[in-house]
Amino acid sequence: MSKCPNSECGSDSFEAVKANVKGMKYPALFIQCAECKTVVGTEPAYYVPQMLQDLAKSLELPPLP
């Protein structure tokens, strides 16, 4: 199981927090320790394939593979 890299923490509980980042057009998801808030990674806040599926549905296009 993954553990927080902060040697003073060591928690194995994480959370995703959406935040705006200066200089970026879209928000990012920060994967961080739920206890001490040490950031361990980032991901795009929006999942592009799902956005495309939603757009296709709203335009009444056939589902994408």
In the structure, what pLDDT confidence band is assigned to residue 65 with cuts at 50, 70 and 90?
low
The domain of 7 spans 1-65
pLDDT computed for residue 42 by the predictor: 93
User: What are the C-alpha distances in Å from 56 to residues 12, 44, 59?
Assistant: 39, 21, 5
pLDDT computed for residue 41 by the predictor: 95
* Domain count for the chain: 1
As a whole number of angstroms, the distance between CA 7 and CA 19 comes to 25
Q: Indicate the SS3 state at residue 23.
A: coil
The answer, as to whether pTM is greater than 0.95, is: no
> Does the pLDDT value for residue 64 go beyond 70?
no
Give pLDDT tens digits for 9-56: 989 999 999 999 999 888 899 999 999 999 999 988 877 888 888 888
